[in-house]
Structures are given as structure tokens and as C-alpha cells.
């Protein structure tokens, strides 16, 4: 494993140890896949070696010096040889929820044993009718004395059967205000063997050849109140606290698979002779290898940069969502290219690459789809980078008579216009002229209300009144969002009525005799 320059000594040592371990268990991991036996022994051995506690304090059996980066190192190496890494995601997330929100008693009872791999955890959220919209779950937790009674069904739950403790999200309120505030859910620890808690059926998926993924039936499951993580109504907050860490871990898993796919593709093409030469000599295959190498390198940098930010105590929501989406999609392309490079051998089960393709598709869907990650990047990215993405302030150049950028809205570039506006009343003509000038500069674009406010030095109420008046006269077209005017442009009638200079302009090379 390539060690990145900002890793500390503990993280570098961990990388060497886990790589040796992955090499040692390769044969056993493949045997478990062929026999379709759950890799629970690999998960437990990972715990015995102390690698399931990379983010836990020492008092709970953790090794915090390796931190979030350490958990990614473990999953990258483990996942190149075994799907045990997929289960480790939920196990580590369970630990994280307990660490952040569990009572001292719950932490002391569960965390040391989970860190050692003596107890294996599963996360129980998804339901038959509820997927990414976790706030809409229907499983109910009804309080009776000092217990809660859980009723409902869950599906697509990984690690069912072999897990010892299940972290179950359930609804504890239907009160509209609580639902609106996302205070209607609670998180419970349910132990294997609880009465009324059963596996309903096991799914046969595209991938996950030796990983259980199943439905769960909760039929009157009684859970002591002290088995709740956090307070009643804090389940959503508990889940969201973990979500970003889960996405980070899910970003690390494809890395090992990508490297292994590259390993087998190059191994195969170096030894497969066609048309008198190894297939690796074909330029088309060399281009594929170059693409795979670039994707793997970029994916690693995104993942470990996000992990480093975690280790610094930050909450890198955008970076993690981007890595999660980027890695899942790029990994799938790497697996496809590796398969293509290996030809017919690539689609046989005698090489692990075909399984990477199948598991790679699952990786684009769980945990949390790549489409949802793009929504997260869009929403948080626009806010986080608002200053860097300030809209350009464009004008017609006095001499060249062409549109040019003269500054950015929000940086004081329109201060002169504001000063000129002070002491006089802004009129409909002022607004219409601004819209007409915008037509000359950005002929296909509306003008944002914030641009108009800064250009004219007018307040919201006054601007709304003026724009509405122009609209009523057919001089402007307005776009409203949730009833509020957001964008405006001059109509053809408005352009004609505006008191602006000539709209016409031709480059010098144009013969004006041809223009009419």
C-alpha cells in the first residue's frame, strides 16, 4: 500500500500490518466465497488485532493514534481480498454512534467487546417501503413502563444472522411538530436472541456472494429503555452523526478492489499473447490501464484527504460525499475496463474481477446511492463555496462596446452606483434600464434580484413594488420561487421602452453594408 506523506508513524505501521494480513488471508477469503460461507472469522480476527477500534479511546480498547485514516487503511486492504470490509462499515458506524451518543453504561458494556471483535454489530434502518428517506420509517417503538415494544419490518440489512447487536431505528412519535423537527425517531440496541426478533428472509443479490443481506421481522420485541442511544426523539441526530463517517468508510472500500482489479488485469495482459504479442502491448489496453491508474490515484487522494480532515476534528461533509460518489462510480468503470482487458477470462468466476463488477454496482447503491451524494454536494457545496462562486458583475466596455467582467457582486464593485442612488428615489425607469443593460451583456439570462439591489442600492420592498409595476405594464417578466420574486428580465416591449444606448453592435470585420 502506498503511504501518503501526511500519515503519522502509527498509520504507516498499520498500513504494513494490514497489508501483510490481507496477503495472508487471501486463500482463506477465496475459499469462503466459493463455499458461500460468511467471512465472520475474518471480521473477528480483524478485531483481535485491534483494527476495529481505530477511532475509539484507549479506555474502550481503541487505538486513536491511527484515527479515521486508520479505519480507511483497514478497509482498503481488507476489501481487496474479502467482502468482510463491507460488514466492517456498519460495525464501525455502530461503534461511532455509541461513542458519540451512548450512555456511559452502554459504552462500557459494548465498545470494548466490539473493538475486539467479540461482538459484531449491524445497522437496521431501511424498510420495505423506506430507503434513503430514513425519516419516513414506519417501524414503531411504543413505550410500556421501562421498556419499548418494537413492531415493524426492515430490509436490505447486511450482516443479519452473524451479528450480535443490532442498532435499530424506530418511530417513537407521530406528533406533527416532532416529525417536522425530526424528533420522532429513536435508536435502540437490540441483542440477538430477543423474543420476537427474527430473520424473515435472506436476499439473493447481484453480488455479496457470501454476505447475508436480509429482511428482519420485529414482532413485539421488548427493549429496555436503557438500551436507547441518546434520548427519545434523538434517533435522527444519532443517525446523521454517523452518516458522514459511514460515507467515508464506503469511500475506502472500493480502493482495495480497484487495486486488485488492476493487479489481475496487468497480470493477465502481460501473459496473454494474441497476434504475436502480449495484449498489454496493444495501445487500446494501455490507455485503459492508464485510465484505471488515474482513477485509483484520484480516488485515494480524495478519500484520505477527507479522512485527514476528520482526524483534524473537522466535519468534511462535501469532501466525503464527493469521495463516496466519485469512488463508487470510478471503481465501477475500473472494474469494467479490467474485465474488458481480460477478455473472456474476465467474466469467469475463476478470477475475482467479475465479482468486483457485480459488487461495484451494489457499491453505487449502498450505503446511500451516489445520486443522493450528488444532492449533498450540490446543497452544501453552493453554500460552502459561495464566496468563490460569487456571480460576475458584467458591463459593456466604454471603448470596445463588448461585454466584459468588471468585478463580482458582493465585493463592493457596485459601490459607485449605490452612492449615486443615495439621496434620490429609484424609479421604474431605473429598474427597466438595468434590465435592458443586462440584455445587452447577458442576452439570454434573467437578472437576479440581488444583482438589481446592488446595482441600484434599493431595498427589497421597494424593488418588489417596482418589478411588480413593470410586470403589470408588460415591460418585465418575473420568475417567482415560493411566491418571492427571484429573477427578472425585460420583455421585448420593455427593451423598446428602456432608455439605453443602441442595442446593435457588429465586429469590425463585418461589412456593415451587408447588415440590415
Reported as a pLDDT band with limits 50, 70 and 90, residue 313 is very high
pLDDT of residue 36: 96
Q: Is 371 considered catalytic here? A: no
Residue 419: per-residue pLDDT? 53
Mean pLDDT to the nearest integer, 313-322: 95
The single residue of 9, 94, 118, 511 carrying the catalytic annotation is 94
In the structure grid, which three cell numbers stand for residue 475, read together? 415591460
In DSSP terms, which residues pair with 484 in a beta bridge? Answer: 481
Chain centre to alpha carbon of residue 378:
10
C-alpha radius of gyration, the chain, whole number: 30
What are the grid coordinates assigned to 480, written together?
417567482
User: What distance in Å separates the CA atoms of residue 164 and residue 119, rounded to the nearest whole number?
Assistant: 6
Strand runs labelled E in 386-445: 392-396, 403-408
- CB-side exposure of 369: number of CA atoms within 13 Å? 8
* pLDDT for residue 132: 86
Say what the pLDDT of residue 31 is: 97
What are the phi and psi torsion angles at 130 (to 5°)?
-140, 120
Q: 372-400 burial, b for 16+ CB within 10 Å, e for fewer?
A: bbeebbeeebeeeeeeeeeeebbebeeee
- What domains, with CATH codes, occur in the chain? 1-119 (1.10.540.10), 121-233 (2.40.110.10), 239-389 (1.20.140.10), 392-497 (1.10.10.10)
> 422 falls in which pLDDT band (50, 70, 90)?
low
Backbone torsions φ then ψ of 185, nearest 5 degrees: -120, 155
Q: What is the pLDDT of residues 216-225, one digit of tens each?
A: 999 999 999 9
- Residue 486, pLDDT > 70, answer yes
Encode pLDDT of 362-418 as tens digits.
Answer: 999 988 899 999 999 999 999 999 899 999 999 999 999 999 999 999 876 555 555
C-alpha grid cell, residue 37? 460461507
In this structure, how many other beta carbons lie within 10 angstroms of the beta carbon of residue 513?
6
Backbone angles phi, psi at 507, to 5 degrees: -60, 155
306-324 mean pLDDT: 96
Is residue 153 predicted with pLDDT exceeding 60? yes
Residue-wise pLDDT for 18-62, tens only, equals 999 999 999 999 999 999 999 999 999 999 999 999 999 999 999
Alpha carbons within 13 angstroms on the beta-carbon side of residue 158 total 23
- What residues does 199 pair with on adjacent strands? 216
For residue 78, is pLDDT > 80? Answer: yes
Nearest residue to 109 (alpha-carbon basis) of 257, 224, 247: 224
Q: What percent of the chain lies above the pLDDT cut of 90?
A: 94
pLDDT at 202 over 60: yes
Question: What distance in Å separates the CA atoms of residue 457 and residue 453, rounded to the nearest whole number?
Answer: 5
Mean pLDDT, all residues of the chain: 95
Q: pLDDT tens for residues 456-465?
A: 999 999 999 9
Q: Measured between alpha carbons, how far is 158 from 211 in angstroms, rounded to an integer? A: 7
Q: How would residue 89 be classed by pLDDT, with cut points 50, 70 and 90?
A: very high
Q: What gap in Å lies between CA 89 and CA 99, rounded to an integer?
A: 15
Of 10-24, 241-255, 379-393, the least confident: 379-393
Amino acid at each position: 500500500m502506498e503511504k501518503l506523506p501526511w500519515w503519522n508513524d502509527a498509520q504507516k505501521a498499520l498500513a504494513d500490518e494490514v497489508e501483510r494480513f490481507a496477503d495472508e488471508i487471501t486463500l482463506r477469503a477465496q475459499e469462503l466465497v466459493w463455499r458461500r460461507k460468511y467471512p465472520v472469522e475474518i471480521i473477528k480476527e480483524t478485531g483481535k488485532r485491534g483494527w476495529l477500534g481505530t477511532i475509539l479511546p484507549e479506555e474502550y480498547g481503541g487505538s486513536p493514534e491511527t484515527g479515521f485514516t486508520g479505519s480507511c487503511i483497514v478497509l482498503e486492504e481488507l476489501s481487496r481480498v474479502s467482502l468482510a470490509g463491507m460488514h466492517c462499515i456498519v460495525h464501525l458506524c455502530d461503534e461511532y454512534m455509541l461513542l458519540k451518543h451512548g450512555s456511559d453504561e452502554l459504552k462500557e458494556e459494548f465498545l470494548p467487546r466490539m473493538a475486539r471483535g467479540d461482538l459484531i454489530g449491524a445497522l437496521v434502518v431501511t424498510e420495505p417501503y423506506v430507503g434513503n428517506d430514513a425519516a419516513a420509517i414506519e417501524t414503531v417503538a411504543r413505550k410500556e413502563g421501562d421498556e419499548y415494544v418494537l413492531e415493524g419490518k426492515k430490509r436490505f440489512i447486511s450482516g443479519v444472522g452473524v451479528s450480535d447487536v443490532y442498532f435499530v431505528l424506530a418511530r417513537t412519535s407521530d406528533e406533527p411538530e416532532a416529525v417536522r423537527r425530526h424528533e420522532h425517531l429513536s435508536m435502540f440496541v437490540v441483542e440477538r436472541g430477543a423474543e420476537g426478533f427474527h430473520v424473515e428472509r435472506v436476499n439473493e443479490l447481484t453480488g455479496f456472494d457470501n454476505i447475508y443481506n436480509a429482511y428482519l421481522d420485529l414482532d413485539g420485541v421488548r427493549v429496555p429503555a436503557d438500551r436507547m442511544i441518546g434520548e427519545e426523539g434523538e434517533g435522527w441526530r444519532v443517525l446523521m452523526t454517523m452518516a458522514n463517517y459511514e460515507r467515508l468508510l464506503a469511500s475506502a472500500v472500493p480502493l482495495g478492489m480497484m487495486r486488485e482489479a488492476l493487479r489481475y488485469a496487468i497480470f493477465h495482459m502481460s501473459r496473454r499473447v494474441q497476434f504475436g504479442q502480449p495484449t498489454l502491448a496493444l495501445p487500446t489496453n494501455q490507455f485503459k490501464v492508464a485510465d484505471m491508474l488515474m482513477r485509483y490515484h484520484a480516488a485515494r487522494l480524495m478519500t484520505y484527504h477527507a479522512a485527514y480532515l476528520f482526524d483534524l476534528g473537522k466535519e468534511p461533509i462535501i469532501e466525503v460525499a464527493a469521495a463516496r460518489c466519485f469512488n463508487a462510480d470510478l471503481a465501477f468503470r475500473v472494474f469494467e475496463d479490467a474485465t474488458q482487458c481480460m477478455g473472456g477470462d474476465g467474466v469467469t468466476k475463476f478470477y475475482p474481477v467479475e465479482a468486483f463488477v457485480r459488487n461495484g454496482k451494489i457499491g453505487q447503491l449502498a450505503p446511500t446511492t451516489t445520486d443522493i451524494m450528488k444532492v449533498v454536494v450540490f446543497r452544501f457545496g453552493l453554500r460552502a463555496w459561495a464566496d468563490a462562486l460569487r456571480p460576475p458583475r458584467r458591463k459593456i466596455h466604454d471603448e470596445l462596446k463588448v461585454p466584459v467582467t468588471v468585478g463580482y457582486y458582493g465585493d463592493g464593485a457596485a459601490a459607485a452606483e449605490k452612492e449615486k442612488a443615495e439621496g434620490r428615489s429609484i424609479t421604474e425607469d431605473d429598474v427597466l434600464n438595468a434590465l435592458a443593460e443586462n440584455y445587452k451583456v447577458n442576452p439570454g439570462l434573467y437578472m437576479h434580484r440581488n444583482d438589481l439591489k446592488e446595482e441600484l442600492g434599493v431595498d427589497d420592498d421597494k424593488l418588489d413594488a417596482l418589478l411588480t409595476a413593470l410586470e403589470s405594464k408588460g415591460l418585465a417578466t418575473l420568475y417567482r420561487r415560493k411566491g418571492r420574486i427571484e429573477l427578472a428580465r425585460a420583455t421585448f416591449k420593455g427593451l423598446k421602452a428602456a432608455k439605453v444606448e443602441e442595442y446593435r453592435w457588429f465586429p469590425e470585420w463585418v461589412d456593415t453594408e451587408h447588415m440590415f
